[in-house]
Structure 1
Amino acid sequence: MANKKEVISIFVDNHANVLTRVVSLFGRRGFNIDSLTVSTTDNPELSRITIVFTGNEQTLSQILTQTQKLEVVRDIFLLEKENSLYRELLLMKISATKETRSAVKEIVDIYRGKIISLSKDSMIVELTGAPEKLDGFMEMVACYEIIEVCRTGITGISRGPLVGTE
């Protein structure tokens, strides 16, 4: 069985220590989390956890089954790539001299990013999109001096009819 990236969405009670309980389940089973995002929902009693991990069908089945058993979990489902939208936010501080500034700005514009801060020797870029878009941007600016990078991790939503208890 081949390993692949999986994205799951979990609706949980919006209480203290719920995230710890969900994440520790992954750790106890020896599963590594590649990306984790948590947010409130339109229901103040629920939070949504989006977890990205790498595994095979057996791993996925085990995670879905065992996570569903936690009493703080209201719903859990797979966000399949063909039926879902994934987004991520990237903030990147790039060294930008007078000589390189316009070239970096051109790349930022092509990727529909924004320069949100500019100083004499650096700029901070904000870019939102699919993880592949952010990876592509990072490859394109790799020849410049990258000072700092911060990525939020994937959040996702299924297309079409309402999924989950949100």
Structure 2
Amino acid sequence: MKKHTIAVIVNDQPGVLQRVSGLFGRRGFNIESITVGTSEEVGLSRMVIVTTGDEQTLEQITKQLYKLIDVIKVIHLSSNPIVARELALIKVSAEPAARPEIFGVVETFRAAVVDIGTHSVMVQVVGDTEKIDAMVELLGPYGIRELSRTGVTALNRGNSR
């Protein structure tokens, strides 16, 4: 099974996200990550969906998406070089004695401390999914109190559209 990243350009209408995610559920396709936001065109939104499957599964997903009335375009991002990023906020237990070690991890990952409490710190990290996973793994022993991840957003590299 291969990971696929697809962008779906849709009309910016209520219920579109529900119809797209419902299509995946009804067909038994898993969504590993989904992000939605405005696109470069007024009235259209861009969904970036990460899913797994073979080429036949991806082709089936594409055909099913095009059957939805609000879907304008489906783009197979992972078929070309892409820039993909995710953001995570991680609240870690951090007594004052442990903070220098945590700050060292933060610096190594080019992350940022965005909040400091009496017994915790909140770290913001941006990068590909593997970078976020590695940061979570290294901060785990300190005690992760809360974790929030945005999901992947991506665009094709260079001049391709």
Common fold: TM-score over 0.5: yes
Q: What's the counterpart of residue 15 of structure 1?
A: 13
Q: What's the counterpart of residue 106 of structure 2?
A: 108
Q: Deviations over 1:26-47 (max 9, x none)?
A: 1110111111100001222100
3-state secondary structure, aligned to 1:112: coil
Q: Is the 8 A contact 2:80 2:156 kept in 1?
A: no
Q: How many residues align?
A: 161
Matched, 1:50 2:52: no
Shift, 1:82, TM fit: 5.2
Q: Deviations over 1:103-161 (max 9, x none)?
A: 00110011011111001100000011111111111122121111011100000000122
Alpha-carbon distance in 1 for matches of 2:90, 2:138 = 13
Alpha-carbon distance in 2 for matches of 1:82, 1:101 = 41
Q: List 4+ stretches of structure 1 deviating above 4 A.
A: none
Shift, 1:162, TM fit: 4.3
Alpha-carbon distance in 1 for matches of 2:12, 2:69 = 12
For 1:51, give the aligned amino acid. Answer: I
- The structure 2 residue matched to 1:38, chosen from 32, 36, 39, is 36
Shift, 1:81, TM fit: 6.6
Identity of aligned residues (%): 40
Gaps (5+ residues) in structure 2? none
The correspondence of residues 122-141 of structure 1 with structure 2, limited to 5 A, is: 122-141=120-139
Q: TM-score, normalised by structure 1?
A: 0.93
Bigger shift: 107-116 or 74-83?
74-83
3-state secondary structure, aligned to 1:142: helix
Gaps (5+ residues) in structure 1? none
3-state secondary structure, aligned to 2:58: helix
Q: Deviations over 1:32-78 (max 9, x none)?
A: 11111000012221000011111111111100111122121111011
Q: Is the 8 A contact 2:20 2:65 kept in 1?
A: yes
The correspondence of residues 1-166 of structure 1 with structure 2, limited to 5 A, is: 3-80=1-78, 83-163=81-161
3-state secondary structure, aligned to 2:122: strand
For 1:130, give the aligned amino acid. Answer: D
